[in-house]
Structure 1
């Protein structure tokens, strides 16, 4: 045995020892290769995600008063047969108040009690809660909130202020079953019926609902609440999606002349440093020197379906997408990513992907066309902030971009003491002749009305 060991030792000594493999370190400042970053930028800033904190959700504002309590059928005055308590996904307690309409008949939903002390509604907001169950879009014809300062739910009287929220609900929540969502409407947007209500002494509210089809629709409803308007002066947010250099370059120069700052929604692994997109160095300049907010969009993909699409991922992978994006922003020293945006076909009504956005403080949606009431603050729904698309996809090279669409949006914000919100893609590239002059008009108009409206970022509102 001893001879065998000696022979084995001699053999090992005779064979050159396996050389230690030494990998030379990357050159100073060079980016580490990563499958998440197929294109390395010139300044080598694309590295692996680093640790950081994802913000929790925005706090929902407490109401000043509940003008109508809609938590169960037993708390309705003269409940119509279309109302029922359903033990599924309740907003309050253990059941939800659900309305199923299978006719063209309007139905009234009245509380059993009025406020003990009248509430001052002037200048404030009305918040409603709804959850579409089936066929709300396109079958909800009207969802009218009525504010009363006289009478009672048993004998309402003919004098009240009214607002039809059907358009808000249909556009914001669509047709199939969705999550509970809220909408806020400035009291100034309500119109008087009869002699109207005394808005300085509102005591209760009613909802009237009507379908435009007898084929059937179902919707769950919640309370009608009075919420304090946090704004004494209108605000305006100018946002930019998809990192188009020509548009950002023009906008940054033009806005800097007035000291205005924008909100840039970033999709780093999709856009940053790619051909035809902003380089990371310029994103840092916008943030560090011009004070722009760098908000969140997508991380590795903006597709909802197909290979690598958001809907093809597991729930854990979707959660990781937002976590990696937030961590990357922290590593780059970019602030403002606690506020995000939906993208592609991934939106607030996509219930498969919606949970991935819950670690944001708030999320912006993109609306086509105009809407009668601008956003409010507190947000109508912090997870579905309504922003008007600037018009690249709906108005093209319109000659009335400013005079009809953008100016009207500013004017509504000022009259309602709300938040005007507009989002650009690549309209300012110079390819459409009317866009840059219209943008210049928009900025000049905002500047001329500084006494009644401020240009802000979302962080200015949420993280003052």
Structure 2
């Protein structure tokens, strides 16, 4: 992330902006650099395609639509509901199996083939959500009914704390969001790679008729539960999306030199252009243009002039609007494309629910990142979906993590994640920070090996996030 070691002085910034034809008086004012006009200026096409062909497997609407629910579940009237005027709210410290009358009198829906897409659940985290951490488990059934569920089902789980947009305060609710598991294969029993287990004979993945929600609670918590849906995946192959943070120079001198041999593009997120672009050991505007125009890279967005949450929060709504207007104008003035897809920063991150609305208003997608699971576990519980299950929080894995810096690091480690994306016809998203300097021999070798592998295959391609979204829109 950006550090004060590389911050341009006011004179240097003014010179850079003037050299590229940008009006310095509108972009930075002494003592008030992030809270001034322009409030309007520049625009991004932020359309995110709505998935087609969604099938409902569970309806989380009203308590009247549930079967045998406990007093821990109630209809909660609130303006944030995504279905009507109320939402199903759970409050308690006891695990709960929630069943809905999704299919009317029969209790089941026409059979759905979940091998051809992803299954997702909508939910909203309540105050002190981490204090009641547990898992939300989705059970898929092919026999019985919600009134009398079969003991043969397939279950997938997701830890509440794994990258979700979660509230931290004692009286704070997060936004509605969803998580999903992509690419159920024909045989999915005990697939630890995706957190899937099987009870009894399991479901028939080509003929799922309903789902139940099993809240496994480890303490007192509150949350709201919405629908469980099947979302078709129109893609025919997997994707590798390789992203870079902070405009670091080695993206150009190290990674791009290797990737360009195979015609592979990347996505770079300049962390704070007014601070980083053209600074020591950072990409220049000319290099950003070269990556875009010669090598097909996407120039995504980070923040404008700061990555510090406290500073950004202090701007207020009007200042934050100006903050992102300047970012759009910067891209437009320099002819850079792709800024509608953004990246969270270490401090301005997905767990800051008070800034979620302004982030959502200004970006089509937002990337998160983290390290892989510890050695001995799958690299990632499951990768991304197509379409993205939660555009404001899609997941990326740290390509330069110490787990991968071993002999045959690609073949023995990273390839597992690439194969998972190919099998699911979805995305393996990677992120790097200063990982490809000449002395970082294992990272460079891992990248060479991955490029060679993907280049030789027909079941996966190497594309940008914009390409990925366009592929299913």
- TM-score exceeds 0.5: yes
CA distance in 1, matches of 2:421, 2:138: 21
Cα offset, 1:340, TM superposition:
1.0
Q: Does 1:282 align with 2:281?
A: no
Question: What residue number does 2:368 align with?
Answer: 365
* Residues 149 and 291 (structure 1), Cα distance of their counterparts in 2 relative to 1, 3 Å cut: same
1:348 to 347, 350, 353: 350
1:205 is paired with a residue whose SS is: strand
Question: What residue number does 1:430 align with?
Answer: 438
2:322 is paired with a residue whose SS is: helix
Q: Does 1:201 align with 2:240?
A: no
Question: What residue number does 1:161 align with?
Answer: 154
Cα offset, 1:448, TM superposition:
2.4
Q: Does 1:253 align with 2:257?
A: yes
CA distance in 1, matches of 2:52, 2:201: 30
CA distance in 2, matches of 1:172, 1:63: 26
1:269-310 CA-partner distances (Å, limit 9, x unpaired): 0210111211111111111111111111111111112xxx21
CA distance in 2, matches of 1:205, 1:45: 56
Question: What residue number does 2:102 align with?
Answer: 113
CA distance in 2, matches of 1:262, 1:43: 28
2:312 to 310, 313, 319: 310
CA distance in 2, matches of 1:244, 1:41: 18
Cα offset, 1:377, TM superposition:
1.2
Q: Does 1:220 align with 2:208?
A: no
Larger RCO, structure (CA 8 Å, separation 6 or more): 2
Question: What residue number does 1:320 align with?
Answer: 322
1:381 to 384, 390, 396: 390
CA distance in 1, matches of 2:163, 2:17: 43
Q: Is the 8 A contact 1:388 1:421 kept in 2?
A: yes
Q: Does 1:44 align with 2:19?
A: yes
* Residues 53 and 174 (structure 1), Cα distance of their counterparts in 2 relative to 1, 3 Å cut: closer
2:268 is paired with a residue whose SS is: strand
Cα offset, 1:458, TM superposition:
0.8
Cα offset, 1:39, TM superposition:
5.9
1:134 is paired with a residue whose SS is: coil
Cα offset, 1:225, TM superposition:
0.5
2:273 is paired with a residue whose SS is: coil
* Residues 240 and 36 (structure 1), Cα distance of their counterparts in 2 relative to 1, 3 Å cut: farther
TM-score, normalised via structure 1 length? 0.85
1:124 to 117, 133, 148: 117
1:427 is paired with a residue whose SS is: coil
Cα offset, 1:81, TM superposition:
1.9
Question: What residue number does 2:190 align with?
Answer: none
Cα offset, 1:406, TM superposition:
2.1
Give the superposed CA RMSD. Answer: 2.4
CA distance in 2, matches of 1:319, 1:258: 40
Q: Is the 8 A contact 1:37 1:269 kept in 2?
A: no
| Unmatched tracts of structure 2, length 5 or more | 1-8, 28-37, 186-193, 373-378
CA distance in 2, matches of 1:161, 1:371: 20
| Unmatched tracts of structure 1, length 5 or more | 1-33
Question: What residue number does 1:172 align with?
Answer: 164
